[in-house]
Amino acid sequence: MIVTGLCFVAVSATVKMVGTEIPAGQSAFLRYALGLVFLIPMVPAVRAARLDRKTWGLFGLRGLCHSVAVILWFFAMARIPIADVTALNYLNPIYVMLLAVVLLKERLGPWRIGAAVAAFVGTLIIVRPGFREIDPGHIAMLVTAVAMAASYFMAKILTDRARPEVVVFMLSVVVPVVLLPYALAVWVPIGWRELGWLSLTAVFATGGHYAMSLAFSKAPLTVTQPVTFLQLIWATLLGVVVFGEPADAFVMLGGAMIIASVTIVTWREARRKKPVTPPPNAPTI
């Protein structure tokens, strides 16, 4: 998960370098299209996989949710500071928790309710409606967090049904198919500079998704989730040092509230559900 975080921060940097010169839908499509070459080593695992109809359906549904999330994320990254994007992205675990309550009938106890309330208060502190102009990028990130949480939730389910290589392969194939019509509708000529940055985006994003799937196959979300919070520190430093973005104290405060709320919940769940190591039938590499 540490490698995952570093890869995704590198993704943020490369997308920021592209900026608004390329439409979000086209950038998102190119990120996945350029990343298809990295799937070649995964082909044997995919050919050996025996997938039932439900698993295929989950792959398709995850690809659709992820496509929505990635378009909006590219749009937001080009418009608002990296720290804002990263902080708002931490809403994902809260939405994952709520999805577990709705879909898996998990109990929504007082600690979970308190965490959700604190996280959404943190979101209001970051966005600060009424105190500053709300950029469309902030709205896009709020929707991104919901769509990405759905993808995140299904990733955990799928790593219990297929090898991590298969999970990454299917996501990387389904998403560009979904994005292609939208990309063609907004297509603009692209130069070698933008193509180079998006190629690096594909490298780091594919590596990040593989590392995340590998982590999910080895431990439950209560173990892997807290480690991702290091991304906020790295993303803030990247924005200040490389892109000259201000270190917004309200963003840091709101992000810290979201981080604290999710950390408390994952810690309590880890204690309540000991042991937190994977079950014997968990897939291995």
From first to last of its 285 residues, what are the pLDDT tens digits of the chain? 888 888 888 888 888 888 777 888 888 898 888 888 888 888 888 888 888 888 999 999 999 999 999 999 888 888 888 878 877 877 777 787 788 777 777 777 787 788 888 888 888 888 777 666 778 888 898 899 889 888 888 887 888 888 888 888 999 899 999 999 989 999 999 888 888 988 898 888 878 878 877 887 777 665 666 666 677 777 777 888 777 777 777 787 887 788 778 777 767 766 665 433 333 222 222
Residue with tokens 């389904």: 174
Domain contains 133: yes
| 42: containing domain | 2-272
Contacts of 108 (CB under 8 A, 6+ apart): 98, 101
Domain contains 19: yes
Q: Give the C-alpha separation, 142 to 136, whole Å.
A: 10
Q: Give the C-alpha separation, 50 to 161, whole Å.
A: 10
Predicted local confidence at residue 274, as pLDDT: 42
Predicted local confidence at residue 273, as pLDDT: 58
Domain contains 118: yes
Counted domains in the chain: 1
Domain contains 280: no
Burial class (CB in 10 A: 0-12, 13-18, 19+), 157: middle
Q: What Å distances lie between residue 87 and 60, 228, 246, CA to CA?
A: 28, 11, 14
Domain contains 278: no
**Amino acid identity, position 58:** L
Write the DSSP symbol of residue 194. H
Domain contains 143: yes
Helix, strand, or coil here: 48? Answer: helix
Domain contains 220: yes
DSSP states along 122-171: HHHHHH-BTTBPPPHHHHHHHHHHHHHHHHHHHHHHHTTTS-HHHHHHHH
Q: HSE-up of 191 (CA within 13 Å, CB side)? A: 4
Beta bridge partner(s), residue 132: 129
Domain contains 24: yes
Q: Give the C-alpha separation, 175 to 170, whole Å.
A: 8
Q: Are 164 and 42 in contact (CB under 8 A)?
A: no
